[in-house]
Structure formats: C-alpha cells, structure tokens
C-alpha cells in the first residue's frame, strides 16, 4: 500500500470537471468489455460463442448507473432472496426439478457425466462433510434464512426448491446434487460481485434427436450461454464476501480466485512485472483441459472433450471417495505449479547468493528459502485459503547423513510450530484464529501467507552450527500440500461418523454414488523440492530440484520476494538484484532486473533513481504497463499526483481488465483534484470488483466534491465495505494470544530450526 496524499486529505474545491478532461477515461471504459481477457478455448463441439459482451460481468460501459450506487448492477434478473445474489430471468418457472435433473443429460454425455460426478462441483452440497459441518454450525447460530447465503453456490437446487428453509434431511436426494449441469449451462448472465452473482434460467431446454443436425444445433445454442466459457462465470462463486445480509456485523472479503487471476499474466495483464512468457488461460483453460474421449459422448470433438473433473487441489475428497482417477488428475494439475530454492545463506558475517557451496563457520546460520508461484493463476494455495494446509519442511544433515536441524517435519502428524504454512488466518471477536470455516465468527483477516500468481515469498530459517560438524551439509526443502489442516480433518471425520453423517452415507449408497468418508487419511502431495550442499566439499555435490534452475532465475526470485519486505529491510534485496543483473543473459532478463530495481527505489521514495531504472528497463524491453505502473508508484510515493495519474493512465490502458490499475488511477486523479476523471476511473474499476472499498471511497469523495445529490448514498456504499474498524486491534490481540500470529504478520520473518537431539 502506498502512503501519501490520498483523496481524502487534499482540499476539495471546484466543480466536478469538464467533459473534455474526462474523455480519455471514457474512451478506455468503452473498450473494457472487449479487452478484459483472452477469448476462451472451446469446451466442446458447439459453435464458439462470443464472450465479449459479458466480459467480467460489466454492463455497457457507456451506460451510467445512478451515481450513488456502484456500477455492475443486474440487467433485468429477479433476485429471489436478500442473502444471495443469485437471480432468475424474469418469468422463470423456478423449476428446481429441472435444475437438478442430471439424469436427463447422462445418456448423451456419459463421459462428461462420469467426470462431473467425480468433481468437487458434484460434491459441494450436504453429502460433503467438510461443508456440512460448517453449514450446520452457521445455521444453528444464524438461522435458516441466513444460510441461504451458502446455498447460492453450494446448493442451488435446494435453494430454488425452498429446501434450505426447512430442516435438511439426510434422505433427501437433492441434498447430494451440488452444482448440476444446468447451473453452469443455464447461467445466462453473470456479474462480478461474487456470492452467486449469476442469473439463472430453469426453463425447458430442447432435447434433440442426435441424428438431426438442426435440432442438435438448437440444443447446443440453448446450452451454451455467453458466460459459459468465461472466467466471469467461475468468479460468480469463486469470489465471495461476508456482510450484514449474512448476519456478520460488517463487510469482509472472502474466497477470491478471480481478482488475482485478472491481475496476472494468465489473464493477459502485463502490469505486475516484466516476466518470462506465460501462456494465457481462463479458469476453464487450466481446470477443464481437453482430455481423450470416446464417441460415446456426443460432445466429443476430434477424440477429445473438456474434462468435467475440474481438478484443483482437493486431494482429500478424491481419497474420501476412493477415486484413484481423480487423484491422478489432481496430481497432474499440481505438477510444476511452484519452485522452492535455498537462495541465500549468512554465516560468519558473509552472505552467499545462491547458497550452494557457501562457506560455513560455527555459530549462527541463516537460510533464505524462496517459494515461487509459477503455474497457479490465483493464489497458491487458493480457494478457501483459511482451510489450506500447505507447508515447508526443511532438513539440515551433516556429511554422514545425521540430522543437524529441522523445521516443519512433524506437521504431517501434528501441528508443528516450526512449520511455515501458506494459508490465511481469520479471527473472531476475541482475536482467536478460526480453523473450521465457521464464517459467522469471522471478524478480520490478520494475515494471508498465500502467494499471488507469479509472485514469490522468502522464509528465513536460523540454527546454530556446532564446531566439528562433518561437512558438507545438505539442506533439503520440500513444499507439501494436503487439503485440510488437522482441526478441519477432525471436524469432518466427526461429522462423517455422527448419526446424521451415517445417514448421508447410507443415502449416497442408495443413490448409487460413492459415499464420502472424511475419516480416510488425507493424501499429501509434494509440490516442489530442492537440495543444496554447503561448506567444505560442497563443490563435488550437485544441487537438485529447484536449486537446478538457472542462476538468474534463482537470484531474481530472491530479489522479487525481498522487495515485498518492510521498508527498513528493503536494501537487503540490492545484492540479489546486482547478482541477477550479472547473471542475466538476455536484454529481457536485464530489463526485468532494472524494473525490480525501479520498484525498490520507488518504495524507498527515491524518485530520480526509480525513474532512471525504469528508463533502463524500457530501453531494453520497450514500453509496457508494468513500467508505467512502477513510474506511477514512484510519483505517488512522493505525492506527485499529476505525474502519477499520467503514468497510471497508461498502465490502465495496457491492462484494462486489471482492477488494481483502475484503483491506482482513480486514487491519483482524486488526489490531484480531478474529480470527474476519478469518478469515471472508479466506475470502470467497480465493474471489475464491485465490492472494492477503496474504489467506493474514491467514488464517494468525487461525488461529495461536486456536491452531487446522491453523494450520501455513495458514502453509505463505501462505509458498508470499508475495512473493519477493529482490524488493527484484532491483529495486535491475535499476536498477544499467539506469538505465531505476530510472526506471520511480518512479510519476512524467522523460523528457528529445531536442533537434532
């Protein structure tokens, strides 16, 4: 977060601004629907539909909504409950039976059906014990009406049938339907809010004679609505938030895989950094890749079909159902998503980067382990980040293989205080971390250690090296993942073995489905590993895993991670940047280093140095949104808002689907006193992230400066979504309650390796 002259600290005078001054922003807004992302790959034999009019759920950018309300409202759907944003098309029959009739699709789409049945989508409802225990706890405390909030995404059939308003019986087959075929294929409109922000049609669909091409074409057209192949469709449920409608006292953002994707190179945004080439992909491109299929399925084209297994990282569900094929699909999806490395070592006052072959002196040793998210288009790990259990294990051994020190190695069996975990920590009113996804207790997120797309994190480990330890030492690092931490595993197992849980298992068997036994031990997947050798004799030993990456990549990753540290430690990134520049072999690599140097200088308020480094990057790589963004950051850091706005405008121009660029631009324009343009930029950003408190704040201030009649409505919209007033208090209290929370809140912190006995 940049500091300095924000929109609310300047003196606001004058009219709202001229049309001439607003024109450049309006022109960008007009192109937003076309430029938000790549055209998705076709999923089946249907004629490709044009996703552009839907984009990321944005309405026509030329049409302005009432000024007091954020943009992105529905275009005519009928909202059925206040607790969920799910809508029906006007006059829809609200036919829950048709919505849940998966048997209708099975005869012609047998392979799609079988794959879907193995997916998390098919197990998102009450047969899922992880979800059920959280839902039951929520409902017991907040009531049936509030629990509709969950069902818009998890149980749409039950929601439309009114079945979540009454006690949910284990014998009800609808409670085991999850997200059915017609939920995705019947979503005719999507909006960017999240919390089931889609408009659904449950009207009859034409069932064709497979031999009649015209009937097939009509069927395909009816079941291929414009949002189907877009990331926006997935974002309707894979973006969520809490608020008063769910009986939470204030707004709190939740699961969000759409925003980090839209800000990443995977979505076509080049505003985060200069990077190695990345193949663009939507959610479907990664999670619904083409797989071999037979002609038994009428959606097969050229011997392939889009997998409806939708593999992600839910290894526990596949194991709980004994589904080896799904486990294999998940393992393939998780291959090569990350890299780990021992990127630096400090010993005896000397620093070595990378750590290979470093000299060792008895006494304090510090190791920098870097984790880079290479292949995940959202956070690593993503989804419900509070429930993820992804951690690092580190082992240091002497030349004879005897253990010297370790960290995280016990975490697979029991919570290990030395383990560094990649997860997010919500707390309740008493600042206690919530481990069971009981969202009714969430009050603030005190830290989030997950890693954004193509980003890196550094974790420092420290131990004491005793004199006489046989060298060389080996350092092994492993990044391991299982779907749930121990507390959630235990809760789901208890829910499975309870009388209610056994009834759900029996119903699954009656329906001919694989029952979900959450007491089955969770599989653990190794996502990445590395080995380096240190000290005397290390030169004769070859590194392994992530440590075999080119020197430039290892040094660059370390610098990239260190630049995210607190201000007083930023200079620690300079040696890695200098070494990466020496190791660079192409102009593009040199440009990447120079731009990270510019980012470092900008964070330290060294404007001239930042602009000079950005200029060097531009001469080597050409102009681009990442360079303009860093220039904007440099100007904003020293309150030169006019210059910042000019740079941010060019960044937004080059990455129009990246809401972060519109947030930067709106803030800079507002701080420069250009309220009309700030309002327009905020409106464009809000079409991408309608719940953004920062954009709603800029919007309110711009309207207030103009004396607009509905400025108070805009103010109320902002206040409803601003950060919790108690955030700082809860963060501090959580650190007092648990020192690990205080440690994990720091961008880079030290884990003490446990000495061998």
User: Scanning the structure block, which residue is given the tokens 């749409």?
Assistant: 156
Is residue 521 within 8 Å of residue 189, measured between CB atoms? no
Which residues are paired to 342 by β-bridges?
369
Q: How far apart are CA 751 and CA 687, in angstroms?
A: 42
Element (H, E) at 381: none
What does the block give as tokens for 286?
């990664």
Closest C-alpha among 281, 201, 193, 203 to residue 238: 193
Structural domains present in the chain: 38-258 (no CATH), 339-484+522-547+735-755 (2.60.40.10), 551-730 (1.25.40.10)
Which residues are paired to 532 by β-bridges?
475
Q: How far apart are CA 67 and CA 321, in angstroms?
A: 51
Q: How far apart are CA 667 and CA 695, in angstroms?
A: 8
Q: How far apart are CA 318 and CA 152, in angstroms?
A: 24
Angle at 554 between CA 472 and CA 406, to 5 degrees: 45
Would you give the DSSP letter of residue 207? P
Number of C-alpha atoms within 13 angstroms, CB side, residue 654? 20
Q: How far apart are CA 260 and CA 235, in angstroms?
A: 11
Peptide bond into 708 cis (omega under 30): no
Each residue of 179-211: pLDDT tens digit? Answer: 999 999 999 999 999 999 999 999 999 999 999
φ, ψ for residue 87, nearest 5 deg:
-125, 160
Instruction: Give the pLDDT confidence score for residue 422 in this predicted structure.
Output: 97
Number of C-alpha atoms within 13 angstroms, CB side, residue 670? 31
Tell me how far CA of residue 356 lies from CA of 64, 87, 202, 399, 459, in angstroms: 59, 58, 61, 15, 17
Average pLDDT, the chain: 90
Alpha helices in 564-640 (DSSP H): 574-583, 587-603, 607-621, 625-637
Is residue 626 within 8 Å of residue 595, measured between CB atoms? yes
Each residue of 80-95: pLDDT tens digit? Answer: 999 999 999 999 999 9
* Burial zone of 545 (CB within 10 Å; 0-12 exposed, 13-18 middle, 19+ buried): buried
Tell me how far CA of residue 249 lies from CA of 70, 502, 644, in angstroms: 21, 35, 36
Residues of the chain with pLDDT under 70: 1-75
User: Which residues have a Cβ under 8 Å from the Cβ of 214 and sit 6 or more positions away?
Assistant: none
Closest C-alpha among 437, 385, 501 to residue 129: 501
User: Which residues have a Cβ under 8 Å from the Cβ of 625 and sit 6 or more positions away?
Assistant: 269, 270, 271, 650, 651, 652, 653, 654, 655, 658, 661
Would you give the DSSP letter of residue 433? B
A 10 A CB-CB count for 401 gives: 8
Instruction: Give the pLDDT confidence score for residue 680 in this predicted structure.
Output: 97
């Amino acid at each position: 977060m940049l500091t300095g002259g924000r929109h609310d600290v300047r003196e606001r005078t004058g009219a709202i601004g001229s049309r001439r001054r607003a024109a450049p922003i309006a022109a960008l807004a007009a192109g937003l629907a076309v430029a938000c992302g790549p055209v998705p790959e076709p999923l089946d034999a249907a004629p490709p539909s044009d996703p552009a009019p839907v984009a990321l759920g944005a309405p026509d950018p030329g049409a302005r909504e009432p000024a007091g309300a954020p943009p992105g409202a529905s275009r005519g759907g009928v909202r059925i409950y206040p607790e969920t944003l799910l809508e029906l098309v006007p006059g829809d029959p609200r036919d829950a039976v048709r919505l849940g009739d998966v048997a209708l699709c099975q005869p012609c789409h047998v392979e799609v059906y079988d794959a879907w049945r193995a997916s998390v989508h098919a197990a998102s409802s009450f047969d899922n014990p992880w979800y059920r225990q959280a839902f039951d706890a929520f409902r017991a405390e907040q009531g049936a009406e509030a629990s509709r909030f969950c069902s818009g995404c998890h149980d749409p059939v039950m929601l439309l049938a009114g079945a979540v308003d009454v006690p949910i019986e284990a014998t009800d087959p609808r409670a085991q339907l999850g997200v059915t075929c017609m939920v995705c294929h019947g979503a005719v409109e999507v909006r960017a809010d999240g919390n089931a922000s889609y408009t659904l049609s449950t009207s009859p669909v034409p069932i064709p004679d497979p031999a009649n091409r015209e009937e097939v074409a009509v069927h395909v057209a009816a079941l291929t609505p414009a949002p189907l192949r877009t990331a926006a469709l997935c974002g309707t449920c894979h973006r969520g938030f809490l608020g008063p409608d769910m009986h939470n006292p204030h707004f709190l953002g939740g699961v969000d895989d759409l925003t980090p994707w839209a800000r990443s190179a995977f979505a076509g945004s080049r505003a985060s950094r200069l990077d190695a080439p990345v193949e663009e992909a939507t959610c479907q491109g990664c999670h619904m890749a083409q797989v071999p299929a037979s002609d038994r399925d009428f959606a097969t084209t050229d011997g392939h079909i889009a997998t409806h297994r939708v593999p992600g990282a839910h290894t526990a569900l596949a194991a709980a159902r004994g589904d080896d094929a799904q486990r294999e699909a998940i393992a393939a999806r998780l291959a090569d998503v990350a890299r780990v490395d021992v990127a630096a070592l400090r010993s005896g006052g000397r620093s070595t980067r990378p750590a290979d072959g470093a000299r060792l002196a008895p006494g304090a040793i510090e190791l920098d382990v870097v984790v880079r998210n290479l292949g995940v288009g959202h956070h690593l790990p993503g989804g419900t980040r509070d429930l993820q259990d992804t951690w690092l294990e580190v082992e240091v051994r002497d030349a004879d293989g005897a253990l010297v020190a370790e960290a995280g190695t016990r975490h697979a069996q029991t919570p290990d205080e030395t383990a560094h975990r990649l997860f997010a920590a919500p707390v309740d009113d008493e600042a206690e971390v919530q481990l069971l996804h009981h969202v009714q207790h969430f009050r603030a997120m005190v830290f989030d250690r997950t890693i954004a797309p193509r980003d890196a994190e550094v974790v420092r480990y420290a131990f004491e090296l005793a004199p006489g330890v046989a060298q060389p030492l080996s350092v092994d690092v492993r990044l391991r993942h299982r779907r749930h931490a121990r507390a959630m595993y235990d809760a789901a197992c208890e829910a499975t073995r309870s009388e209610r849980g056994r009834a759900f298992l029996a119903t699954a068997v009656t329906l001919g489905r694989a029952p979900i036994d959450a007491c089955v031990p969770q599989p653990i997947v190794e996502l990445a590993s590395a080995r380096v050798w240190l000290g005397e004799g290390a030169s004769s030993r070859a590194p392994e895993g992530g440590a075999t990456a080119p020197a430039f990549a290892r040094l660059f990753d370390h610098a990239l991670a260190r630049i995210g540290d607190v201000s007083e430690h930023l200079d620690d990134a300079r040696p890695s940047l200098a070494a990466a520049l020496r190791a660079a072999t192409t102009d593009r690599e040199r440009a990447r280093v120079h731009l990270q140097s510019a980012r470092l200088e900008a964070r330290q308020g060294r404007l001239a140095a930042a602009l000079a480094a950005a200029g060097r990057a531009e001469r080597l790589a050409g102009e681009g949104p990442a360079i303009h963004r860093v220039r904007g950051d440099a100007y904003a850091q020293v309150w030169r808002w006019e210059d910042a706005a000019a740079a941010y405008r060019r960044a937004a121009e080059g990455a129009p689907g990246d809401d972060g660029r519109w947030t930067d631009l709106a803030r800079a324009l507002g701080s420069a006193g250009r309220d009309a343009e700030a309002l327009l930029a905020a409106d464009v950003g809000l079409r991408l992230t309608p719940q953004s408190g920062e954009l709603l704040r800029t919007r309110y201030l711009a309207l207030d400066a103009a004396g607009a009649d509905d400025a108070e409505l805009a103010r109320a919209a902002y206040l409803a979504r601003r950060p919790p007033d108690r955030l700082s208090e809860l963060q501090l209290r959580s650190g007092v309650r648990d020192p690990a929370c205080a440690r994990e809140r720091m961008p880079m912190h030290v884990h003490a390796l446990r000495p061998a006995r």
